[in-house]
Homo-oligomer: A and B are copies of this chain.
Amino acid sequence: MNKPLTITTETQILEAAKSVFQRKGMEGARMQEIADEAGINKALLHYYFRNKQLLFEAVFNSAFSMLAPQLHAVLNDDTSVEEKIVHFCDNYISFMIRHPYLPNFIFQELNRNPQFFENLKQHIAFPTIKKFKSQVNEEIAQGILLPIDAEQLFVNIISLNAFPFIGKPFIKNITDMDESAFQEFLKLRKVAVSDFIIKAIKK
């Protein structure tokens, strides 16, 4: 199920580029630093990926591809809204604890360059909110959920899950947590967030 275990030069470059781009962003990253971290000559970067832009897009697409399946699950699974929320919060936060730079990287670069979506839509199955919307309205009609706008609910779910990773330094400072306290906070958050949402929408 995992990607190639062989460490080819290309995967070494991608790994290094991922690390550097996610820490420093497109503008902040230096080709030399990526080459160093990959343990190769700078010219090799250009041999495998023609230029910085293309290398960046390769990394970005790969990063977004990791996110897409999870989004797809909230938006298109056949389980109940409640089940999907519980499932998503647990999955998303667990996943991001292992890839803490990912949310910041993705949202930052989408802001810098919104037309990336055109690019993305060609490379991966792009999720839409349509099914989720009708399912929410369905469950409201059935009296399972309190009335709520599906778009607002969707944004609430993403906000509560994604923001802590983007606002980590801010949160740590205001709440005066050290790193281990913050990690503990994130673990608790897996259920804290789904509980919170369920209480807000369940009749």
Interface set of A (CB-CB < 8 Å, partner B): 24-28, 71, 104, 106-108, 110-112, 114, 117, 126-129, 146, 148-149, 151-152, 154-156, 158-160, 162-164, 166-171, 173-177, 185, 188-189, 192-193, 196-197, 199-201
| Complex Cα gap A200–B106 (Å) | 29
Contact (Cβ within 8 A) B27 A196: no
From B112, B159, B168, B174, give the contact of A127 (CB < 8 A): B174
Residues from chain B with a CB closer than 8 A to the CB of A188 are 149, 152
Residues from chain B with a CB closer than 8 A to the CB of A163 are 155, 158-159, 162-163, 166
Main SS of chain A's interface residues? helix
From B27, B128, B167, give the contact of A107 (CB < 8 A): B167
Contact (Cβ within 8 A) A167 B156: no
Residues from chain B with a CB closer than 8 A to the CB of A177 are 151
Beyond A163-B162, A200-B199, is A108–B104 a contact (Cβ under 8 Å)?
Answer: yes
Most buried by B among A28, A126, A175, A176: A175
